[in-house]
Structure 1
Amino acid sequence: MNTHHLKKLLIVLLTFTMIGEPILLLAQSSRSRSRQQRSDQRQDKGAEGREDQLGLGIEVRWIGKIAYDAVIASGKYIVGPGDTFVILVDNGEEPQAAEALIGAEGKLVIPYVGAVQLAGLSLTQARESIQDAVKGRFRHLDITVSLARLRSFPVNIIGQVKYPGAYMIEGAEQVSELINKAGGLLEKPAGRASKRNIQVQRLSNTGVPETTERQADLAMWQVSGDVSLNPFLLDGDQVFVPTIEDSVGISGAVHRPGIHEYMPGDRVADLITMAGGFLGDAETATAELLRISREKGTEQRIRIDLTADAEDGSSDAFRLKANDKLHVEVQEKWVTIVGEVYFPGSYLLGNGLKLDELIRKAGGFTADASLDQSTVIRKVEFAGAVKGPAQLQSVSRGNLTPAQRTYLAMKTQQAPGRLPVDFVALFERGDISQNIPLKDGDVVRIPRDIPSVLVNGFVITPGAIPFNTGYSIKNYIERAGGFNEQAKKDGIYVIQASTGNWIKAAKVQKIFPGDTIFVDGKKPVHRWRLFRETLVVLTQVATLVIAIGSIR
């Protein structure tokens, strides 16, 4: 095509834009125009706007990504009167563009090409028809025709809604948006609208529903976010909202127990999803199904193994029936944190919960927290024949071995189940080896920072001594009044506040706040008992001597 013909084409396109389009637009009702203006101001999903995306003075309708993916990109959009296309002509120099509107008879008039019947075609089919028509006339000219603005079209909604009737759909809207325009679903006592069996019907040319190609499941859409469960509406659709027919129940450890609408094909997993999921540790969840047969007048209880393989008939793939009732139980596992954190209390133990994560959940340490004295206590039961503190306390201290006396002192000073966790190493030096995984029943204690050292055992005045960075072990013992008569001066131990470990004093280089200095005692000597036992032995010897003398 020569330059002269190209100029004529552009002039015709511009003339069509300036004269033809206003005539067609005047045919639209004022109600449709006002709704279109309100639509331009909406935002986000389902909100359309206009934007000069081509930089050629052409306004292009924009919609949200969800609507674009479901309606435009998929090619499912049904083209009809009122849709506006952009015709872009590229002659290799400067591209020229103009708008063209599909007329009331459903034809898009393309200058030098002719009228192309598009109404009722999907967007994919419309594109193919336009390309075929253009290529048949202009083989050496690059002409692109694309959809610029979506029209408004009416869609009927009938059934269990407050205000059934026809409503204008502006571009791309979902079933839920049409229901909102109709005033919402009818609920008791006015009605019993289904949320899961909403039918999107296709109307024939005579207005009779032909097929129900799609269904809307708004209850499942609300909890799963699956867009296919809340389909976008097309020209020629009709929405029918029926009444609820059947239901199933769920109770126990779920977020939303109660009665839920039943759909044929529902699984145990679907019911748990609609109930908001497990309330607790899903790995420990078990369920029992009560199946009632009204026809037979029987009840059947089925134990559901939620962790079983999907092919197993007792798994969460187990198909439900109307009027089934499911009860869910979860073994809840908790850990507790007390003391100097912002949110002390009990926390649900998830998979692999570690110490640092628990501290973050609790809001972190307060300014008064003492990491040196912080501890993790775990429920531990020791097996075996070793005597415990209760047994040793019932034995006379004079009959205890040095090892037993040291063990008894250690167990009465140390909290049972205390784990050797160094909070300072973990939270100040980043030593991840101290970041232990927590278990059910663990208690994390974060005490207030009171800078003191406890001196206990065989000293004159046991008690807490204010911490002093310049004090040695000897200084703290002197502040406690010194050794008493039974003190074993080479039996001094330091119990570390951070780990609970007992260390001989000779091996300790530095004392920290919260540490305990324990002074062991000598094995006591009972003088009266020694005198009494000696006297008995001497009496026995004297008796023996007298007996021998009498024999002679």
Structure 2
Amino acid sequence: NLGPVYLNGKTVKEANNYLKQEFARIYSGVTGNVPSTQVKLTLGEIRSIQVNVMGEVLVPGTYTLSSFASVFHALYRAGGVNPIGSLRSIKVIRNGNTIADLDVYDLLMEGKMKDDIRLQDGDVILVDPYQSLVQILGKVKRPMFYEMKPTETVGTLLKYSGGFTGDAYKKALRIIRKSGREHQIYNVDEMDYSVFRIDDGDKITVDSVLQRFENRVEVRGAVYREGLYQLDGTMNTVKQLIKKAEGLRGDAFLNRAIIDRELEDLSHEIIQVDVKGLLNGTTADIPLQKNDILYIPSIHDLKEEATLTIHGEIANPGTYLYSDKMTVEDLVLQAGGLLEAAATTKVEVARRMKDSKSTSFCTTVGQNFSFDLKDGLLLGEGSQDFHLEPFDEVYVRKSPSYFKQQNVVVGGEVLFGGNYALSKKNERLSDLIAKAGGVTPDAYIKGARLMRRMTEEEFRRKEDALRMAQAGGGDSISVKRLDLSNTYSVGINLGEALKNPGSDADMVLREGDVLFVPEYVSTVKINGAVMYPNTVLYKKGESLKYYINQAGGFGNDAKKRKAYVIYMNGTVSRLRAGNKKAIEPGCEIIVPSKEQKKKMTTTEILGMGSTTASIAAMIATMVNLFK
């Protein structure tokens, strides 16, 4: 019974309250406190409107929007403003009248949307070109381009840019302005920020503070707290600075300190300070100036740092700091003590010759002292009062009767194979076989071989040979022929060594040797430049020809007279065609091949013919000339 109720122009909340008032004219309980009686208004269908977005936008035109759309929604649909579009003046025109002039900076900078009015069907949104675009650079939080209104000042621009950074020079800034003909520069003081107006195209620069100090002094050296200090009314002299640094250390050199002072022309001068007299009151205190650097040296800075060095059979050989009245025992203890191999009968001390006032050449370059050690104490003449001096070097020798265990290995057909320690320096092959309980009945003594590890000297010689091979040259060794491993095979005759112990065949062993006694092998291997490399049964009394035939004969590139045999014991022998005793069980016959010669191509042959013909024609011409 209410009839039509017109809600146009109202918000949902306003419309809901208006309906309550209308219903209250008929139903009194609507406005009362009855909880079961409510009026709730919702929108069923939202009407669309059409608005025109014109001016400096990316895509101007007519857009269909929701009736709840705002100016910012319309700008978003139009792609935003173009490079010359203004964000400071966006007009809403309704029925030919400007009903709003919006500033987007209020939303961007402060989040305010109070001027974002609701659009109606047929509204026109007009974006004008910007009036003033300026750039701010340097020490501000948001350096970039900003659009300014004609009435806005430097202070407004600083607010838009987020203000100064911590290292900015805040008392003045610089503006470069493009006038009608030339550039102009303005230095704007801090007091004028709120009144100096900005023009289109201005470039504002905020500089950083200078890398200098207004009130700094520094103290270095033998004080407890080195560093920078404030120059003020309570601390402006050398004595006060030393007190501020919590005084001098015990190693301070009091006779002379220096002040490095910077002058007005940025040059420096050195001022000498008698610290001892200044502290005693016999010398006048010295006023400080900004950027002064006070240096108080340590007595240790004025001389070379004193050290001691210990070498040899010691736990931690090396260099240690010198201390007054330090003994050899103290240094040995500081270095971790003697090793088990150390000789206590010959501990030597080498001392420098020092005479700073000498004016003549001296042939003596050092002094040596020798002592014995027993129970950690020095023995010998003068040892009770002997103290080390700076830069002494102590040598602890290795005992000549100290030896570490030296192990060798025996394996294969022996009774007790494994590791064995050498018991004397000239222990031989026969001694090792005896330690291993002898050989088994299946042992092939003639094929026993020995592998030996390289010593440092052998390794050095091998590196020299490698360098020569790499250097090249007609007489150098080929790198491919060098054995680059750390072990090598030693050809031995174990049978002869066991028959004649102590003979030349009974080789002396050394640490790391590996002796292997194999079983009998009844085959012979043929390799190299043969038609079919093969392994065949050993046949006593047969010559080289027989075994070559077992491999299909020599290859086309075989060096027939260069064949050789490698025996199981590591020895190598040249083979003769009729020598039937040279081939033994388990050996390997090697037939080397000839080097491949490069044949001349047809083009090269023709080229040589042309060259020969040319030379012949030249000779004939010369003969005719000299007739």
Range into which the TM-score falls when normalised by the shorter chain: 0.3 to 0.5
Higher share of residues assigned helix? 1
Structure number with larger C-alpha Rg: 2
